[in-house]
Amino acid sequence: MKLVIQRVSHASLEVNGILKGSINKGMVIFVGFGRDDNESMIEPVVRKTLKLRIFSDDKQRMNLSIMDISGDLMIVSQFTLYANTRGGNRPDFLMAMQPSLAEQFFNMFIKSCRSFYSGKIIAGDFGRHMAVEILNDGPVTIILDFDNGKTV
């Protein structure tokens, strides 16, 4: 499982040109699932993500989590995090999970986020073309790469 997490001041999400939702101060989480991922990874990854201290405290140190600031979350499925360009200039996605299973994992990821966090959560539509507008704060971008539940 791979995640790209961006701290944002604002973000919005459109599906087929229709606004699905927007968030204010919080995080946008792009998540991709690999073909070797398993269900048992989801809860620990969600817990780690929600506890990441990427928001500034009153001393301007990154010391607070999304839960500490009651920020907003936007979750977007992104299989392209598994792009492999070693064989040339056209990426392959052979290490990405099959779409039908990845959709189930994406839904479990969202459900797990909702079970541990009661703040505002907007989720993208799996497998649909989306327009994500992000106003980065910092910028702060964190990349998490998990292999069998362990950060690589």
pTM for the full predicted model: 0.94
Distance CA 99, CA 33 (A): 9
Verify whether residue 78 is a known catalytic residue.
yes
In this structure, what are the phi and psi dihedrals at residue 22, rounded to the nearest 5 degrees?
Answer: -145, 160
Domain spanning 2-151 has what CATH number?
Answer: 3.50.80.10
pLDDT band at 147 (very low <50, low <70, confident <90, very high): confident
78 half-sphere exposure, CB direction, 13 A CA radius:
17
Based on the residue annotation, tell me whether 79 is a catalytic residue of this protein.
yes
Q: What pLDDT does 149 receive?
A: 57
Residue 85 is among the residues annotated as catalytic for this protein: no
Taking only the tens place, the pLDDT of each residue in 108-130 is 999 999 999 999 999 999 999 99
Q: Which is the catalytic residue, given 80, 98, 141, 151?
A: 80
Share of the chain above pLDDT 70, in %: 97
Average pLDDT over residues 48-76: 98
Q: Active site residue: 33, 79, 105, 106, which one?
A: 79
- Catalytic pick among 6, 30, 49, 78: 78
pLDDT, tens only, 1-31: 999 999 999 999 999 999 999 999 999 999 9
Examine the pLDDT at 148 and tell me if it is beyond 90: no
Three-state DSSP class for residue 125: coil
pLDDT of 39 strictly over 80? yes
| pLDDT for the residue numbered 152 | 43
Alpha-carbon distance of 98 to 33, in angstroms, equals 9
User: What is the pairing mode between strands 26-32 and 72-77?
Assistant: parallel
Residue 113: how many other CB atoms lie within 10 Å:
22
Q: For strand 130-147 and strand 2-15, is the pairing parallel, antiparallel, or unpaired?
A: antiparallel
**Distance of alpha carbon 152 from alpha carbon 145, whole angstroms:** 6
